[in-house]
Amino acid sequence: MVCFMQNPTLDASIFKNAYLNRDQPVDWDRAYDGFTAAVDWPTCAFYKELMVKYPDAKILLTERDADSWYKSVKNTIYQRARESMENHDYPPNLAQMGDMARTVVLDGAFNDPELFANEEEMKRRFLEHNAEVKRTVPADRLLVIQLGEGWNRLCEFLGKPVPNVPYPNTNSTENFHDLVTSMQKKEIAVSH
């Protein structure tokens, strides 16, 4: 999601179209051109397809408390995805990202405010997604980590040395809104 905000040349519609047309082939190499890894949405909606396309890829599942997850999603990507639909002055790349998010994230729950407001149902879907990942990803390709766990098990799983820098903690609600606001201001300045 952050990459879509930062790089207006990325095409979020690839993921929307892939989601809406699951029976059609997807050019995943094009979708991930220039990337060696991906996290979060929209990638997690396609982990099964991507496991087949990239048989050597490893899958990370970050677990966290469902209450904190719902609060975070509600106050970040849900809020901005809804804004992008209602605000006609939204920069084109952010509007496209919002459109994709409303379709792909949580199987389209962002398009149904009443459904998304059902906190217990959203948390159930979140927990079911995690359980499904654990059921379907082969154990030798899956690492289940806790939010903020640190470098050690992650680096061991990926066969990489532990970096000599603190484990990142940058995806807070405040960081997210600051980034979106700065992208909006940047886009408005360029268009005027």
- Condensed to tens digits (0 to 9), the pLDDT of residues 138-147 reads 999 999 999 8
pLDDT of residue 65: 94
How far apart (Å, rounded) are the C-alpha atoms in residues 89 and 115? 26
Closest-CA residue to 116 (of 157, 77, 166): 77
Average pLDDT, the chain: 86
- Condensed to tens digits (0 to 9), the pLDDT of residues 21-64 reads 999 999 999 999 999 999 888 999 999 999 999 999 999 999 99
How far apart (Å, rounded) are the C-alpha atoms in residues 22 and 46? 10
Contact status, residue 134 vs residue 61, Cβ threshold 8 Å: yes
Q: Mean pLDDT lowest for which of 74-78, 93-97, 144-148? A: 93-97
Question: Taking the alpha carbons of 156, 159, 165, 169 in that order, is the dihedral positive or negative?
Answer: negative
Task: With cut-offs at 50, 70 and 90, classify the pLDDT of residue 185.
Answer: low
Is it the case that residue 192 has pLDDT exceeding 50? no
Task: With cut-offs at 50, 70 and 90, classify the pLDDT of residue 191.
Answer: very low
Domains and CATH numbers, the chain: 2-15+60-184 (3.40.50.300)
Percent helix, strand and coil across the chain, each to the nearest 5: 60, 5, 30
Please give the C-alpha separations between residue 141 and each of 42, 114, 118, 145, 162, in angstroms, as whole numbers: 20, 37, 33, 13, 19
